[in-house]
Structure 1
Amino acid sequence: MKRRSFLIGSLGTLVAFIGTGATIYGALPVIPKRPMPGTDDALGWIAHQEGRFLLTLPRIEMGQNIATALKQIACTELEVAWDKVDVAFHDSDLARVRSTVGSESIMLFAEPLAQACASLRDALRRGVRQGLVSAEPRAKEQLKTFARHGKIGRTAEIVQGREIVTGKALYASDIRRPGMLFGRVLRAPALAEYASKPLSWNAEAARAIPGFVAIVKDCGPDIGNAKGLGIIAERPGVLDRVVEVLNVVWQTEEPTTEFSSDAPVDVDRRPLEEMPSNVVLNGRPEPGPWNVDLKLSIPFAAHGAIEPRAAVAEWMHGKLTVWAGTQDVFFIRDCLADAFSVAVEAVRVQSCRVGGSFGGKTICTVEAEAATLSRAAGAPVKVQWTRAQELASAFHRPPSSHRVRARIADGQVSDWDHRQVSSHILFTSAVVPNLMQQATDAFIGDGGVARGMAVPYVFPRARAAYDLVRLPVHTGPWRGLGAGPNGLVIESAIDEAALAAGADPLAFRLAHINDSRLAAVVEAVGEMSAWETWKRPENEIKVGRGIACGIYKEVSYAAVVAEVEVAPDGRTRVREFWCAHDCGLVINPDQVKAQCEGNLMWSVGFVLHDHLPMERSRIVAETFVDAPIPRMEDTPRMNVELIESAKPPAGAGETVMACGPGAIANAIRAATGIRPTRFPVRTA
C-alpha cells in the first residue's frame, strides 16, 4: 500500500478519534491531491485557433523556466515557429494538475504534452478545425521530442524574459483591481505553535491616520495557533504607519521551558543501542570500533525567496477570485473553500509567476488573509507579507542532528550506520494537527526527511534510520527536502572514510559505486577539474578541493568539485565549482545549466550562510541581514557539463543539492585539516 494511500485510508480512524476528543483541532486539514498527468489531461493544455496555438501551462513558473521548455516541446511536436505558440498560466478552473514540486515538470509532463501536441498536429493535417481532438497515443520513439528533433536540446528565448527585464506586470504583487485596498494581518511575536491572540489596540490612533480604512478582528484561519488582527488601508505605505500607532498588546501562551533550536533534535539524546523509529536501510553492522564517527548539526533555515508572498482577493456575488504566487492553485482553492464554507466551484485561483519558492509557497496563508480582508471590506484587497512576516510566519527547513559512523576493512567501507533526528518536512506541522502527525510518525514516517539517506554506494552492511520531533517552529519542504542535509552528511563521512583508508577521495568513491551513471558523472567531474594533476598552490593562503556526488530521487545524477580558500582570519570563500550532471534527455541545455548553477549557489548558502536566529521562543530574524543569503560577491566561477544519456528526461531543479554542500565541506576539510560539523561554517 502506498504511503499516501495509507494516510487517506486511515482518515476514517483519525476522524473518529478526533471527534471523540473535540479539543485538539475538531476537523481534519485539507489533503492535497496530486494526480499523475496523462495524455487526455494534456489535450486540455494545448488549443488551436485561427493559425495560432495557446499552451496553458500545467505547471507554476517560479524561475525554473519550465514555460520555455514546455513551449519547446509544443513547437517541436506541432512543427510550428516559436512565435506561433502563446503561453498562458493556468487557474483552478483547469482540470486539476499536480502541484509544482519535486523537479517533476519535464519528467512527468513532457511526454503527455508531446502526445497531445502530436495528436493536434495530425488532426489539423486531416482538416479538423473545430471541436475536441481525441488522443492518438504513439510509441515514445515516434515523438519528435524524444527523437531530439526541432527545438529539443537547443537554446530558446525565455518565455516572459522580455516582460521581466522591462518591468511588465507578472507577479501577484503586480495585480491591480478597480477599487483595490491593501491589507495586512498582524500576529504575536511568538512561535506559531504557541497559542496567541490580540488583547487590545489603539483603534483611535489608527483612525486618525489618513488612508486608514478598517481594523478586522476576525481574520479567518489561524497560522498554527496564532490568531491575527487585520488592518486595511487605501495605500500600502499607510499600513506601516498604522502598525506603529496600533500598539497591539498580545496574549501569548508561555511555554513551560524556553525553546532551544538544538536540544530537541540532538541525536545523542537517544542511546545508540536503541534504533530510531523509521528505518531507511536495515542492514546490520557488526559490533566493534569505528574508523569514522561524526556528529553533524544542521540548523533551521529560511527559504530566502526574493519575493515575499502576496495575494489579491476579490469577492463578487458570493464568489471568490484570488490571484496568488503559489505552487498549487488547486490546493489553495480547496483550502479557501473549506475555510469560508463555500463550494469549490465558487472559488477561482489564478496562478501568477512566482519570484522564488523552493518548496516554501505550498500552503495557504496569505491567500486566506487576503480573502478574509476582502470579504470584510467589500472590495478587492491585496496582502503582501513583509520580509519580517515571511521569516516569522512561513515554515522553514527543519534542523537535523546526525550521527554517522563507518568501519574500514581491507581499504573499503565494510559497515555503515547513519542516524538522525529531525522535524517534519512532508507531514509538516504547518498543516498537520498533532494527533494526525503522531499517526503518520508511527505508521508512515516522513519521506522528505528520509530523502537521500540511502547511500549511493555499495557497502556490505549499511543501516540508516531517523526519528521525528514536532517542534514549535513550523518546518516543511525546502529545496531538495532531505537530500541536501543527508547528502552533506553522507559525503562528509565517505570523505573521512577515504582519509582513514589512505585513499584518494575520488578513487575511493568509484571503488564503492556500481551504478554506471553515477560513476560517469564522478569520472567526468574529475576530468573537468583536473583532479588527479591539481596541486595546492604553495604560496597562497589555505586552499583545498573537495568532491562529492549523489543521486536525486533515483533518476538524476550529479558530481561536484569545489575549490575553497580560507583566509588567516577564518573567512571562507568558494573560488570555483566544477559540476557534471546527468538528468537524461535535456530539452534546454541553458536552463538545465542554470538550475545547476542555482543549486551550487544554494550550496554556498547552505554551508556558509544559512541560519535562522531565535530567542525566547520566537524568531527574531527580520531581514536578510539576520537570515543571510549569498551575495554577488560570494559567487564563484562555475563550470557545468551536462552528460546526456539515452534515458527519459528527469528532474534537474534539485539534483545538485545532493552533492554541492558536501563538496564545499570536503574542500574546507582539505584546506584546513578540520572537518566542519556545525553549520553554517562561521567565516569570521
Structure 2
Amino acid sequence: MMKRRHLLAGTGLAAITVVFSAGCALVPVIPKRPAPTPENAQGWIRHDGAGRYTLWVPCTEMGQQISTALQALAAAELGVAPQAVQVRLPGTDDIARVRATVGSASVQDFALPLAQACATLREALASGTSTGGASLQAQPLPASALRSFQALASARAVAPAPGQLQALVTGQALFAGDTRLPGMLYGRVLRAPVSAELDSRPGAMDDAAARADPACVAVVQSPLLQQMNSLGVGIVARSPTALDRIEAALAVQWQVQGGFGPVEIAERIDIDRHLARGALRHTPRSDAMPEGEAWSIDLRMDIPLAAHAPIEPRSATAVWSPKAQNGDPVLRVWAGTQDLFYVRDVLARHLALDAERIAVQACRVGGGFGGRTLCTVELEAAVLAQAVGAPVKVHWSRAQEFAQGFQRPPSSHRVRARVHQGHVTHWWHAFASSHILFTPAAMPPWMQTLADFAGDSGVARGSQLAYAVPQQRTEFTAQRLPVHTGPWRGLGAGPNTLVVESAMDECARQAGADPLAWRLAHTTDPRLAAAFERVAREARWHDKRPASDATTLRGRGIAGGIYKGVSYAAAVADVAVDRASGQVRVTAVWCAHDCGLVLQPDGVRAQTEGNLVWCLGLVLHEELPVAASRVAAATFADYALPRMGDVPPLHVHLVESGAPPTGAGETAMVAGAGAIANALRDATGHRFTRFPVRSEHVLQALTT
C-alpha cells in the first residue's frame, strides 16, 4: 500500500490509472484566526536598500484594493513616495500566520499594526541599526502619534502607485489561473451532479476509453478526493481542452443516496411552521411581549438562496518536490484564497505532512465575498499532482463554481410591531435560516449540532434593531439544508436588514409619518442620525419629486443601519415602474457611508458602489434555482444578476469621521436593499414580501 506522503515514481507520460487506499480524518480542520500584532507586522515590511521597501500584504487582494490602501499607509509612515514601496502577495513561508480576509476588517485590524511596524522601521533606519525588518525595541506608538494616520486623516486622498493598476489593465499574471509551470498538466475532479450533502460516489466507468485518448495522463481514484459526502474521481490531461473529451469518454455512473427538491428546502425554513412549535432556539434579545394586544403590522417575508457568482471561478496549481531538503517545502500550491494558512492546515492534515513542508502562495482573487474561505480546489490539485508526479492545475468551470461552492442561505421571517402615539413600542422579529459561520460545507452534522448550542452569529447579523424601541424580541433558528450554505457578502446582514427596514417603513406608514423623520425619531446613535441626515441632504429628500403619470409609477425609499456595531450607512433610492409591463427600474441611489478614518476614499467609494449593486440584486434579481437534488444553475444565463443597464447612477458620500477605521466593504448592505424595497412600496402602494421581485409579481400586484 502506498503512503500518501510519497510521490508515485516512474509514471512518465503514459496514461495511467492511480488508486489510493488510505483514508482521511473525519474531524474538520478548525481555522485559526490570530489578531494581528505590531510584532507580527514587523515581517510585513522590509527595507531593500537605497530607499526601496517591500510590503508583503497580509490581506487577500480580491478587488477591494486593500494592497493600495496599505501601500499608501506604509509610504506615509516611512516618509517615502508610494512608488518606493513594492507590493507583494505573500506565501505562507513569507510571513507569520495571519487571520483570514473576512468581515470587512482588513483596514480595521491590519492598518494600525502595519503603521506601528513602519514607524519602528523608520526609526531603526534613522539610527543606522537595521537594513531589513526591524525588531520591536519599545512600546508601539499609539495611533495619535503615527505620521500616517495624521497625514491620511488630513489629506483624505492618496494616489495609488501606477504599477498595480498597470498590471491589471495590461493583463499581467496576477490570478491563480494565470500560473504557468514547466511540464504543467491539467486536472479535473468529477463529482456526482448532486449536492455534496448527499452521499455520492463513482460506480462503473469506462476507464479504458478514457485512457485511450492520447491526451489522457491519468485517472485518479482516492479517498482524498472526498469533499463532505461527495467522493470524486480525478482526471489529468496534457491540455485543458482535452478534459471535457476525457470526462465524456470515462462516462462515470454515479451512485447517489437520497434526494431533495426546492419544496424540502422551503419547508425546513418556513418560519410559521417553526413558530407553531413554540419559541425558537436562539434569542439575541428576549424582552417579554404582552399577549392579547393587536399588532399594528404583521409581515411574513421570504428571501431565497443566492450564489456568490464571482467573475473568476476558483483555480489552484500544485507541484511536489520529493527531493526537497533542509526543511524546504515538499508541496507548493498557488491559489486564490481568503485564508492561506487555513488551506495549508487542511493540506497538511489530509496529506499527512508537517505544515512547514507546505507553501501556499497567494494570488489575486477575482471575487471572494466569503466564498473562498475553505480548501477545495487546492486539495484537488495537490492530490492529482501527487498522483502523476508533475505540476497540475485544476480550474473549476462555471458550473462547478455554482454546484460545488456554498451559497447564501435562504431565510423566512415574521415581523410584528406595535405603534402607539407616534412610536414603535413593541418589536418582535422571528426568522429561520441556514448556517453561515457554522457552514455545512465544512462542518459535519454532529459537529454542527454541538456548535449550534451557541447560535450562529453570522445568521443573526443585522437582525438586532438599530432603533430605540422599549420592548424587543429577536429569535431565530438555523436549519441544516441539503444545499450547503455559508458566508456571503455581509453574512445575514443583507437579508435581515432588508426585512427590518421594510417593517420600519410600514410602521412609519401606519403612523402617517415621513420615513426619514420616523427613523430620526427612533435613532439615539448620533452617527446613524448623521448618516441619515447626510443622505437626505444629498438626495434632496424634502424637495418635490417627479410624480407618477399614465405610463410610469415613481417612488422613493430610505433605509439605514449599523454594520457589526461599528460602521454606518444610510441610503435613498428612486425607482420607476412601468404600468404596462411591471418592469422596475432603479433610477438613482444615494448612500452616506461612515466607516471611520478612510485610508483610500476612492477605494471605499468603489466598494460601496459594488455593495449597492449587490443590494439591487438582492431585491430585484438574484435567486439560485434548485432542482433534482442539486443547484440547477450552470452558467450566468441560469442565474439572474444585475447587468450594466440595470445599474443606476450611484452617489456615494463618505461621512467625515475622527473615529478609528472600521469595515467598509459590506456596510452598505444594511441600507441599499431596504431603500430599494421601500421605494418600490412607495411607487406601487404594495409591500412585496417575497424576493426577488420580478416584473410578473409587480404586474400581478398592480392588477389585483
* Residue 473 (structure 1) aligned to one of 480, 483, 496: 483
1:372 aligns with 2:376: no
1:515 aligns with 2:525: yes
Structure 1 pair 503–241 and aligned structure 2 pair: CA distance change class (3 A): same
Equivalences for 1:626-665 in 2 at 5 Å? 626-665=638-677
Structure 1 CA distance, aligned partners of 2:117 and 2:362?
23
1:82 aligns with 2:79: no
Equivalences for 1:551-562 in 2 at 5 Å? 551-562=562-573
Structure 1 pair 27–267 and aligned structure 2 pair: CA distance change class (3 A): same
1:50 corresponds to: 49
1:105 corresponds to: 106
* Residue 445 (structure 1) aligned to one of 455, 459, 470: 455
User: Is the contact between residue 279 and residue 464 of structure 1 (CA under 8 Å) also seen in structure 2?
Assistant: yes
Q: Measure how far apart 1:259 and its partner are.
A: 5.7
Structure 1 pair 91–438 and aligned structure 2 pair: CA distance change class (3 A): same
Q: Measure how far apart 1:317 and its partner are.
A: 1.1
Equivalences for 1:85-484 in 2 at 5 Å? 85-93=85-93, 94-130=95-131, 132-135=133-136, 136=138, 137-149=140-152, 153-157=156-160, 160-218=164-222, 220-255=224-259, 260-271=264-275, 274-287=278-291, 288-317=293-322, 319-442=330-453, 444-484=454-494
SS in 2 for 1:220: strand
- Larger mean CA deviation between 268-277 and 560-569 belongs to 268-277
1:61 corresponds to: 61
SS in 2 for 1:428: coil
* Residue 587 (structure 2) aligned to one of 563, 568, 575: 575
SS in 1 for 2:231: coil
Counterpart residue type for residue 61 of structure 1: E
Q: Measure how far apart 1:255 and its partner are.
A: 3.5
SS in 2 for 1:625: helix
Structure 1 pair 631–197 and aligned structure 2 pair: CA distance change class (3 A): same
Aligned sequence identity (%): 51
Cα shift readout 1:317-365 (whole Å, capped 9, x = no counterpart): 1711100000001000000000111111111100100000100000010
User: Is the contact between residue 317 and residue 378 of structure 2 (CA under 8 Å) also seen in structure 1?
Assistant: yes
Structure 2 CA distance, aligned partners of 1:220 and 1:127?
52
Structure 2 CA distance, aligned partners of 1:468 and 1:171?
35
Counterpart residue type for residue 106 of structure 1: V
SS in 2 for 1:169: coil
Structure 2 CA distance, aligned partners of 1:108 and 1:399?
30
User: Is the contact between residue 259 and residue 616 of structure 1 (CA under 8 Å) also seen in structure 2?
Assistant: no
SS in 2 for 1:121: helix
User: Is the contact between residue 296 and residue 678 of structure 1 (CA under 8 Å) also seen in structure 2?
Assistant: yes
Q: Measure how far apart 1:244 and its partner are.
A: 2.2
- Larger mean CA deviation between 85-94 and 359-368 belongs to 85-94
SS in 2 for 1:147: helix
User: Is the contact between residue 76 and residue 151 of structure 1 (CA under 8 Å) also seen in structure 2?
Assistant: no
SS in 1 for 2:91: coil
Structure 1 pair 127–161 and aligned structure 2 pair: CA distance change class (3 A): same
Structure 1 CA distance, aligned partners of 2:352 and 2:279?
45
Cα shift readout 1:104-125 (whole Å, capped 9, x = no counterpart): 1111111111111011111111
Structure 2 CA distance, aligned partners of 1:291 and 1:313?
60
- Larger mean CA deviation between 68-77 and 205-214 belongs to 205-214
Counterpart residue type for residue 58 of structure 2: P
SS in 2 for 1:100: coil
What is the aligned residue count?
660
Q: Measure how far apart 1:256 and its partner are.
A: 7.9
Q: Measure how far apart 1:219 and its partner are.
A: 5.8
SS in 2 for 1:546: strand
Structure 1 pair 423–149 and aligned structure 2 pair: CA distance change class (3 A): closer
Cα shift readout 1:8-52 (whole Å, capped 9, x = no counterpart): xxxxxxxxxxxxxxxx99632100010111110111100102121
SS in 1 for 2:86: strand
Q: Measure how far apart 1:565 and its partner are.
A: 1.2
Structure 2 CA distance, aligned partners of 1:281 and 1:117?
43
Counterpart residue type for residue 406 of structure 1: A
Q: Measure how far apart 1:183 and its partner are.
A: 0.4
Structure 1 pair 677–259 and aligned structure 2 pair: CA distance change class (3 A): closer
1:596 aligns with 2:608: yes
Counterpart residue type for residue 292 of structure 1: I
User: Is the contact between residue 583 and residue 644 of structure 1 (CA under 8 Å) also seen in structure 2?
Assistant: no
Structure 1 pair 103–306 and aligned structure 2 pair: CA distance change class (3 A): same
- Larger mean CA deviation between 151-160 and 86-95 belongs to 151-160
User: Is the contact between residue 261 and residue 628 of structure 2 (CA under 8 Å) also seen in structure 1?
Assistant: no
- Larger mean CA deviation between 238-247 and 82-91 belongs to 238-247
User: Is the contact between residue 187 and residue 394 of structure 2 (CA under 8 Å) also seen in structure 1?
Assistant: yes
SS in 1 for 2:241: helix
Structure 1 pair 231–149 and aligned structure 2 pair: CA distance change class (3 A): closer
User: Is the contact between residue 172 and residue 325 of structure 1 (CA under 8 Å) also seen in structure 2?
Assistant: yes
Unaligned runs of 5+ in 1: 1-23
Cα shift readout 1:458-504 (whole Å, capped 9, x = no counterpart): 00101101011111111000000011011100000000000001101
Cα shift readout 1:579-598 (whole Å, capped 9, x = no counterpart): 00001111111011001100
1:29 corresponds to: 28
Counterpart residue type for residue 150 of structure 2: A
2:16 corresponds to: none
Structure 1 CA distance, aligned partners of 2:41 and 2:380?
33
Structure 1 CA distance, aligned partners of 2:25 and 2:350?
13
Equivalences for 1:482-561 in 2 at 5 Å? 482-539=492-549, 541-561=552-572
Q: Measure how far apart 1:666 and its partner are.
A: 0.6
Structure 1 CA distance, aligned partners of 2:172 and 2:275?
58
User: Is the contact between residue 314 and residue 336 of structure 2 (CA under 8 Å) also seen in structure 1?
Assistant: yes
- Larger mean CA deviation between 208-217 and 296-305 belongs to 208-217
Counterpart residue type for residue 478 of structure 1: W
Structure 2 CA distance, aligned partners of 1:37 and 1:503?
47
Structure 2 CA distance, aligned partners of 1:278 and 1:151?
45
User: Is the contact between residue 46 and residue 53 of structure 1 (CA under 8 Å) also seen in structure 2?
Assistant: yes
User: Is the contact between residue 73 and residue 151 of structure 1 (CA under 8 Å) also seen in structure 2?
Assistant: no
1:19 corresponds to: none
Cα shift readout 1:47-85 (whole Å, capped 9, x = no counterpart): 102121000001110000000000010000000012211
Structure 2 CA distance, aligned partners of 1:395 and 1:389?
11
Q: Measure how far apart 1:221 and its partner are.
A: 4.0
Structure 1 pair 244–259 and aligned structure 2 pair: CA distance change class (3 A): farther
- Larger mean CA deviation between 27-36 and 177-186 belongs to 27-36
SS in 2 for 1:270: helix
Structure 1 pair 534–304 and aligned structure 2 pair: CA distance change class (3 A): farther
Structure 1 CA distance, aligned partners of 2:559 and 2:158?
29
Structure 2 CA distance, aligned partners of 1:599 and 1:255?
35
Structure 2 CA distance, aligned partners of 1:152 and 1:285?
50
SS in 1 for 2:689: coil
1:73 aligns with 2:85: no
Structure 1 pair 261–570 and aligned structure 2 pair: CA distance change class (3 A): farther
User: Is the contact between residue 219 and residue 369 of structure 1 (CA under 8 Å) also seen in structure 2?
Assistant: no
CA RMSD after TM alignment: 1.6
Q: Taking structure 1 as the reference length, what is the TM-score of the superposition?
A: 0.94
Equivalences for 1:604-623 in 2 at 5 Å? 604-623=616-635
Cα shift readout 1:599-655 (whole Å, capped 9, x = no counterpart): 001111111111111112211110111122211111110111100211011110000
